[in-house]
């Protein structure tokens, strides 16, 4: 498992926040899409909770970004 302090994971967290803001989506709206409560979305973005691959796929759709935006080097 990748450490939350790994630079690649830090990049993922930064891009999660950036993509949400660029898309004009609130944490509340993300929570609704993922079936979570807003505090859990905040914890995801802060790196206090690991993101599930299925959640990442949903966020890719919601933000209109490919998975490689969040995880560079990911096989296509």
Per-residue pLDDT of the chain (76 residues; tens, 9 = 90+): 566 678 999 999 999 999 999 999 999 999 999 999 999 999 999 999 999 999 999 999 999 999 999 999 888 7
Break the chain into its structural domains and give their ranges. Answer: 7-65
Q: 14 Cβ partners below 8 Å, 6+ apart?
A: none
Q: What is the pLDDT of residue 54?
A: 96
Taking Cα atoms as reference points, which of 45, 40, 53, 39 lies closest to residue 19?
Answer: 45
Write out the CATH class of domain 7-65: mainly alpha
Longest dimension (CA), the chain: 32
Cβ atoms of residues 12 and 51 within 8 Å: yes
Computed over every residue of the chain, the mean pLDDT equals 93
The Cα–Cα gap between 47 and 57 comes to: 17
Q: What is the pLDDT of residue 74?
A: 84
Taking Cα atoms as reference points, which of 61, 75, 62, 1 lies closest to residue 27?
Answer: 62
**Model-level pTM?**
0.87
């Amino acid at each position: 498992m990748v450490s939350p302090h790994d630079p690649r994971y830090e990049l993922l967290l930064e891009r999660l926040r950036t993509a949400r803001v660029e898309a004009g989506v609130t944490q509340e709206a993300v929570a609704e899409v993922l079936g979570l409560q807003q505090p859990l979305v905040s914890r995801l973005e802060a790196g206090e909770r690991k993101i599930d691959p299925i959640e990442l796929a949903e966020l890719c759709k919601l933000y209109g970004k490919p998975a490689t935006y969040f995880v560079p080097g990911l096989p296509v």
